[in-house]
């Protein structure tokens, strides 16, 4: 298992922490951001394949930011693949 920290860009959350076990993503947590919403996203995505997280959450936008915490999670799980 590999522990990963991904520094986000353009969001209220500053970073995302998770573990990768092959293609399975677990133990997701966000530093900063909307606490309740990000806890929910983390719970829903725990145990999912990276490709599925990216497919479902990629491109989800927050206002006019051009990204969102969910979109950044999609980018994070695909980084380093």
Report how far residue 45's alpha carbon sits from residue 71's, in angstroms, rounded to the nearest whole number.
Answer: 13
Q: What is the pLDDT of residues 24-76, one digit of tens each?
A: 999 999 999 999 999 999 999 999 999 999 999 999 999 989 999 999 999 99
Closest of 70, 80, 79 to residue 30, by C-alpha: 70
Bridge partners (DSSP) of residue 18 are: 4
Task: With cut-offs at 50, 70 and 90, classify the pLDDT of residue 81.
Answer: low
Determine the pLDDT at residue 45.
98
pLDDT of residue 74: 98
């Amino acid at each position: 298992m590999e522990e990963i920290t991904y520094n986000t860009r353009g969001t209220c959350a500053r970073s995302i922490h998770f573990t990768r076990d092959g293609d399975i993503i677990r133990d997701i947590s966000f530093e900063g951001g909307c606490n309740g919403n990000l806890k929910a996203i983390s719970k829903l995505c725990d145990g999912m394949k990276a490709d599925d997280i990216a497919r479902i959450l990629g491109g989800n936008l927050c206002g006019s930011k051009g990204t969102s915490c969910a979109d950044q999670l999609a980018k994070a799980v695909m980084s380093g693949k």
